[in-house]
Amino acid sequence: MRQSVRAADGRQLTVETTGDPRGKPVFLLHGTPGSRLGPAPRGVVLYQQGVRLISYDRPGYGSSDRLRMRTVADVAQDVAAIADALGVERFAVVGRSGGGPHALACAALLPDRVTRAAALVSLAPWEAEGLDWFAGMSQFNVTEYTTASTGPDQLAVSLEPRSAAIRANPVQLLADLRWELTEQDRRVVSDAGIRALLVRNYREGLRTSADGWIDDAVAFCRPWGFDPADIAVPVLLWHGEEDVFSPISHSRWLAGRIPYATAVLEPAAAHFTALRVMPEILVWLLGDRPWAGPVPA
């Protein structure tokens, strides 16, 4: 079900709910670039798990109004507004890739509402002490984040024409990345079903502009607006050791900073492998037991 929710400052946020309408609520925060239509378990799986999955277009993506110069922390206020509009008091939250820092923000800033949080293949804060932020990162992302650190205007010069090309042909983003994909990631994105989900995701996210993509990247390269050390709810950090888009050292840093974090570091996995473990992540999010998920193939 799709609906529009008004944020505290009057902006419109486009929200999608799937799965069991009477199930336990879980917010799924999409990657960068992305949208509310990003990859997620099928509806039948969500029904079987008793999950009410809530996703939305972050500001500037899809049909959601832009919030210029937003921080990662700003997500908490938007998620709270959506939860209020849907009549949801307590919920779990999960974010993959660019959604990871935003999931952690909700855990830190909404401690009375978030029950558990998971961050898959997440970045660490730009100013993370003792972390070589770019070590092991693909040149594609090094260039993007280096430019983002100078501000949105410079980044727009490169991302706006790329966004237009992807709107015309959403497969283009995967084509742009093909030389930097690991063998594990090539195997995942070669699956026709996953490729179709990714294409739908990129098409919707960049449907009107590159604004969301630009604002995400800039927000990652500035103070996030919260300290991960302040998170007081259980957190699962999942990361593949072969990830070249958000290196595994970022989750290692987060694991050493977040008091109640469990780090699941998979030696044979990469960035897009995270798409395959989401059903097990949901089981953990809705339970009260330690992680017991399988090692992904």
Closest CA to 259 of 238, 285, 231: 231
Mean pLDDT for 21-43 is 95
Total Cβ atoms within 10 A of residue 111: 12
Asked whether residue 174 carries a pLDDT value surpassing 80, the answer given is: no
d(CA 275, CA 237): 14
Q: Which CATH class is domain 2-286?
A: alpha beta
What is the band of 295 on the pLDDT scale with cuts at 50, 70, 90? Answer: very low
Asked whether residue 296 carries a pLDDT value surpassing 50, the answer given is: no
* Predicted confidence (pLDDT) per residue in 65-93, tens digit: 999 999 999 999 999 999 999 999 999 99
What are the sequence ranges of the domains in the chain? 2-286
What average pLDDT is seen over the chain?
94
Looking at residue 271, the DSSP 8-state letter turns out to be S
What is the band of 132 on the pLDDT scale with cuts at 50, 70, 90? Answer: very high
Asked whether residue 1 carries a pLDDT value surpassing 90, the answer given is: no
In this prediction, residue 294 carries a pLDDT of 59
CB 208 within 8 A of CB 60: no
Mean pLDDT for 41-63 is 95
In this prediction, residue 141 carries a pLDDT of 94
Please tell me the pTM assigned to this model.
0.95
Mean pLDDT for 125-141 is 96
d(CA 271, CA 96): 9
Residue that wins the pLDDT comparison between 249 and 165: 249
Amino acid at 106: C
- List beta partners, residue 25: 52
- List beta partners, residue 143: none
Residue that wins the pLDDT comparison between 268 and 90: 90
What is the band of 179 on the pLDDT scale with cuts at 50, 70, 90? Answer: confident
- List beta partners, residue 119: 95, 237
CA distances from 168 to 130, 154, 173, 174, 206 (A): 41, 23, 11, 13, 10
